[in-house]
């Protein structure tokens, strides 16, 4: 199945059926214009809680609220026609109990029109994933480096090295068995991601993982070179739009200061003066 050629809206079962097939293309989006750009090319568009850092200037994702995710989810929904829209559940909105998770996830789905939500956490979240999935609420899981637990990890470090690999493996198996339709593997060693992909029955979506995963996801601002100077090892810059934008802004500022902008073609003539000049010429 080719997402680019497909005009029908993609569903969670469609994504699950892609296990072992053509790799899934996934990107984040937080606004309507960007959603329109990525939609024709992506299978999954994630409204990530990374919006807190990318658009709101927060130091981490921990300050993102449910209301922020709903606002950006609504904006992205307006720009999509075919890609599956998934919305991140923010920190504190689902960890307390399966009931809390369902109540908040149901609100996100109802208010944004998304088709699924994403929860961070492995075996500890299996009961919650099962609770949601059994009630018709599709869940994408997320294991490995889970940014909402960054304080527990002591920073944005690679997960699953050495003996810790078995923990990540168990997490991936647990969320798959609980009913997640796909699982994100973030910042884990290549061999571990390859092994998990071969073992679990659901698609794996890598970010800082392995090309052997069933799909890949990046933060769109990272791959376009829009988000600051920091570039994680796992990000490939497909453009440097930030530099281009800065150059354009500098050129605008210079032309304004030199009174070069607006030029004659950017201003409006006075129609009354034009008409008066014509009549004067005719009278003469």
Q: What is the largest CA-CA distance in the chain?
A: 97
- The response to whether 118 counts as a known ligand-binding position is yes
Q: How far apart are CA 194 and CA 189, in angstroms?
A: 9
Distances (CA, A) of 57 to 1, 28, 100, 263: 38, 17, 28, 36
Torsion angle, CA of 192/87/60/151, rounded to 10 degrees?
-50
Q: Which residues contact 279 (CB under 8 A, 6 or more apart)?
A: none
Do the annotations mark residue 8 as ligand-binding? no
The token pair at 146 is 């889970």
Residue 227 CB: number of other CB atoms within 10 A?
A: 18
Side-chain-side CA neighbours of residue 244 (13 Å): 6
Catalytic-labelled residue, pool 81, 163, 166, 186 = 186
Is 270 among the annotated ligand-binding positions?
Answer: no
Q: Is 19 helix (H, G, I), strand (E, B) or coil?
A: coil
SS3 of 165, please? helix
Residue with tokens 């991936």: 172
Active site residue 186: yes
User: Which residue from 160, 243, 149, 148 is spatially nearest to 204, judged by alpha carbons?
Assistant: 160
In sequence order, what E strands does 84-201 have? 84-88, 116-120, 139-144, 182-186
Q: Does residue 120 have a known ligand-binding role?
A: yes
Catalytic residues: 186
Binding-site positions for 3-methyl-2-oxobutanoate read 49-50, 88, 118
Binding-site positions for Mg(2+) read 49, 88, 120
């Amino acid at each position: 199945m080719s997402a680019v050629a497909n005009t029908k809206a993609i569903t969670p079962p469609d994504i699950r059926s892609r296990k072992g097939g053509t790799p899934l293309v996934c990107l984040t989006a937080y606004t309507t214009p960007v959603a329109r750009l990525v939609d024709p090319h992506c299978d999954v568009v994630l409204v990530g809680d990374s919006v807190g850092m990318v658009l709101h200037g927060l130091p981490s994702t921990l300050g993102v609220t449910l209301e922020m995710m709903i606002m950006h989810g609504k904006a992205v929904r307006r720009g999509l026609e075919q890609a599956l829209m998934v919305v991140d559940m923010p920190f504190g909105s689902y960890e307390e109990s399966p009931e809390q998770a369902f109540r908040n996830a149901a609100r996100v789905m109802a208010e944004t029109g998304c088709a699924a939500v994403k929860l961070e956490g492995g075996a500890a979240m299996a009961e919650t994933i099962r609770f949601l999935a059994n009630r018709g609420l599709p869940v994408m899981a997320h294991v490995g480096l889970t940014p909402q637990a960054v304080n527990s990890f002591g920073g944005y470090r690679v997960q699953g090295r050495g003996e810790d690999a078995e923990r990540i493996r168990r997490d991936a198996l647990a969320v798959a068995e609980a009913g997640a339709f796909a699982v994100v593997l973030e910042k884990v060693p290549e061999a571990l991601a390859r092994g998990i992909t071969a073992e679990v029955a659901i698609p794996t979506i890598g970010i800082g993982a392995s090309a052997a995963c069933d799909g890949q996801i990046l933060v769109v601002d990272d791959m376009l070179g829009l988000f600051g100077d920091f570039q994680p090892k796992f990000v490939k810059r497909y453009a440097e739009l930030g530099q281009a934008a800065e150059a354009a802004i500098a050129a605008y500022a210079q032309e304004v200061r030199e009174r070069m902008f607006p030029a004659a073609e950017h201003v409006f003539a006075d129609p009354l003066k034009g008409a008066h000049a014509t009549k004067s010429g005719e009278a003469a």
